[in-house]
A and B are shown apart, each in its own frame.
Chain A
Amino acid sequence: VILKALTVENFRQFFGQQTLTFSDHQDRNVTIVYGANGSGKTALLNAFTWALFKQTSPGFERPDDVVNHRALAEAEEGADIVARVVVVFEHENQEYTVERSAVQRIRAEGDLRVKEALSVTFVDEGGRTHNRTDHAEGTINQILPERLHRFFFFDGERIENLVKPDSYAEIEDAIKTILGLTVIERAIKHVDDARKVLEKEYSAVGSDEVKAIQTRLDAARGEKETKTEERRRALENRSANAAQLDNVNARLAELEDAADLQRKRSDLEEALAGIQTELAARRRSLSTRLSDSGFLAFAEGLVDHTASTYEDLRERGEIPTSIKLQFVEDLLERGACICGNPLHEGEVAYEKVAGWRQRAGRQDVEEAWMRLSANARAFKTRRKEFFDYVHETNRERAVLRDQEATTKDKLSAIKESIDELDSDEIQGLERRRDELKSAIDSDNLRLALAERDILELDRRIADLERELEVAGAAIAKARVAQRRVVVARESRDVFSSILNLRTEEVRRQIDSRVKQVYTQISFKPYVPSLDEAFHLDLRKTSGRDEDLSVAKSTGENQILSLAFVGAVAEHARDRYRESQAEGRTDGMLSFRGGIYPVVMDSPFGSLDENYQRQIADAIPRLAPQVIVFVSKSQGLHAVQDVLMPRVDREYVIEYATPKADQDRETIELRTGVHPYVEPVDGPYEWATVRPA
């Protein structure tokens, strides 16, 4: 970044519009602005930081009060007075213009700040202008990081604060910014935020549900085993009882008195079983038919309605239509009627043919109607067949039920006859026979219940297995979600480790540069150091192994701070040159750096002459471009003796003061004598900057 110009308009002491341009000469890289105390030197320093970052230095009192008082006083009520600062700088061969303004409206009841605005434009190498006002702050920050502004725009008298304990955090912060570690710090924070988002998603796909389904499935499978066992036992009992019954029947058939009756009974029982099988078969068949075609019983109205609607359409000639829509469209497209007449859009013939579009039928609709009508007729036939079947089956069932009742009556009569036989063995066998039949009935009942339960359990198990399959997908999902959380956590840890490695490396590099720069400035046998906790300290070698911290004077602190600023700026420049030379960014390992100017107010303060000379000697080396604000009472000799060979441009702030007893003052420079302080009439002070 090379500063080209600064324009102030009605900003603080500066009445009207004034512009300063700055040296960017390689050997004479210093611009000096002279001004009396209170004349506006600090205002000029703050003009830069206000325009670029809306920041002001601690010595800049009433920071919101930026509009020039004389301009406000001379304006009429209702007028808007604008305070404006324009900074022009060059960055990578493009010229940027940053303009910030504040508008104050004059009102009887007190002036009101009505508007503030910031705009950024740049002109590229081809001379095209680009407006970056929508991203003004981001654009400025990208070129001149705000976190660094205190290191490049500073009040020289306060620079020593940089080496006080309050500043350690600020130093660490600045180092991280200038060396591109902020990106890693942000990554750590944002990855951790993302981890929280992913953790929430993980807990939403937890596996409790799966466990519950598995428990229910296990229970259903256990129950099915029990029921299957019950069924097996019922079957075994039934066959054992049936075998015994066969024996009893066989014995009865052997006994002379009962043999005839028993044979008849066996035949009848066989016939009864046949009848009952037939009945069951018809019941099943009827039930199947009802569930397949039962709807036909209710379709009568629908069928008739469809058929009659179709017939109406047909009778009215709407189905099938004499002319198809496609036919009409084809004629229109061809541009000729079948009679040979041409059809041109807009003409009568065309419109007449086109009118047939409304009346022409669509092939697909007609076909659908015909299919529906044919289906409706088939429905009617199927409905008749269905009712025929139901009636016939019910008639057959009635016959079978009659046969069943007759057979049962016959069996009862036989049983009565057998009961009347006078034989203990026969009666005993008959009782046993009754017991066995009753046992077989109850076996059948148990069997039927077990089978019904097994069927139901099979259904339930199939359902649960399906549920488990779906939930199984959720298990896989949960595993992925959990893995994402782990990866987020590990990534955050990797970034933390990278940050620690890079911070330590950068600290070591800056430490070594501060030592180098300090040695160039100071004649004292002290060594500065930036320790692990980012404490900037000055030590002297005691001759033993351990270095001793020295008590620093204001001068030492100022030199140490300037050495630090110089070291950071130099480091950033080297990084920038490296990245330009390589023409690439090397992922996490590099930072583009930057070339920054240094703008300082009162760098000499009230230091002793020897310190002033050392600082004057150091200033041109701090940055490729240096802008210094000085008063003639602070370091003028040092400037003229030491700094002058490096100075390219000089300005003097002419300060107009209404103070009654103020004498007129001038400043004598190599270019001659210039007005410095001017007493004026009236209530307001103001300042004007003039090239010297």
Chain B
Amino acid sequence: MATADTRKLIADLLAGADEDTRKVVLEVFKIERDRLYQVTPYGVKDEIAAAIKDIVR
């Protein structure tokens, strides 16, 4: 678990980003976590590009 300091720094970092960026960061994290154990995760960049397009319209 992150310490309280790091948690606060990351929370501040996300709060400082604009809403679209924040949404993209959380979505990308989800995608990456789901596919972390694929040795060669093909097509992640396209999946992320699609997620960004979905968020920024």
Are A138 and B21 in contact, with the CB atoms below 8 A? no
Cβ of A197 under 8 Å from chain B: yes
Q: Is the interface of B mostly helix, strand, loop or mixed?
A: helix
Q: In the bound complex, what is the Cα–Cα distance between A588 and B13 (angstroms)?
A: 12
Are A587 and B29 in contact, with the CB atoms below 8 A? yes
A205 neighbours in B (Cβ, 8 Å): none
B57 to chain A, nearest CB (A): 7
Cβ of A490 under 8 Å from chain B: yes
Cβ of A183 under 8 Å from chain B: yes
**A contacts with B, residue count (CB < 8 A):** 39
Are A491 and B28 in contact, with the CB atoms below 8 A? yes
Given A198-B52, A487-B21: A480 and B57 interface contact (C-beta under 8 Å): yes
Interface string of B9-50 (1 = CB under 8 A from A): 110011001101100111011011100111101001110110
Interface string of A475-519 (1 = CB under 8 A from B): 000001001100110110011011001100100000000000000
Are B10 and A589 in contact, with the CB atoms below 8 A? yes
Are B39 and A138 in contact, with the CB atoms below 8 A? yes
Q: In the bound complex, what is the Cα–Cα distance between A502 and B32 (angstroms)?
A: 17
Cβ of A407 under 8 Å from chain B: no
Q: In the bound complex, what is the Cα–Cα distance between A183 and B36 (angstroms)?
A: 6
B22 to chain A, nearest CB (A): 8
Cβ of A586 under 8 Å from chain B: yes
Q: In the bound complex, what is the Cα–Cα distance between A490 and B17 (angstroms)?
A: 8
Q: In the bound complex, what is the Cα–Cα distance between A527 and B27 (angstroms)?
A: 42
Q: In the bound complex, what is the Cα–Cα distance between A494 and B23 (angstroms)?
A: 12
Are A494 and B21 in contact, with the CB atoms below 8 A? yes
Interface string of A195-233 (1 = CB under 8 A from B): 011100000000000000000000000000000000000
B36 to chain A, nearest CB (A): 5
Are A501 and B44 in contact, with the CB atoms below 8 A? no
Q: In the bound complex, what is the Cα–Cα distance between A415 and B18 (angstroms)?
A: 89
Q: In the bound complex, what is the Cα–Cα distance between A18 and B15 (angstroms)?
A: 59
A139 neighbours in B (Cβ, 8 Å): 37
Stretch at the interface among A105-113, A186-194, A445-453: A186-194
Residue of B9, B41, B49 with highest tally of chain A CB at under 10 A = B49
Are A187 and B28 in contact, with the CB atoms below 8 A? yes
Interface string of A575-614 (1 = CB under 8 A from B): 1001000000111111000000000000000000000000
Are B39 and A497 in contact, with the CB atoms below 8 A? no
Q: In the bound complex, what is the Cα–Cα distance between A58 and B3 (angstroms)?
A: 38
Given A138-B39, A494-B13, A590-B2: A483 and B32 interface contact (C-beta under 8 Å): no
A183 neighbours in B (Cβ, 8 Å): 29, 32-33, 36
* Closest Cβ neighbor of A498 among chain B residues: B10
Q: In the bound complex, what is the Cα–Cα distance between A197 and B43 (angstroms)?
A: 12
Q: Which of A184, A190, A494 contacts B44 (CB 8 A)?
A: A190
Cβ of A137 under 8 Å from chain B: yes
Chain A interface residues (CB < 8 Å from chain B): 137-139, 141-142, 182-184, 186-187, 190-191, 193-194, 196-198, 480, 483-484, 487-488, 490-491, 494-495, 497-498, 501-502, 505, 575, 578, 585-590
Chain B interface residues (CB < 8 Å from chain A): 1-3, 5-7, 9-10, 13-14, 17-18, 20-21, 24-26, 28-29, 31-33, 36-39, 41, 44-46, 48-49, 52-53, 55-57
The 7 closest A-B pairs by CB, nearest first: A193-B45, A194-B48, A194-B49, A142-B37, A589-B2, A490-B21, A491-B24
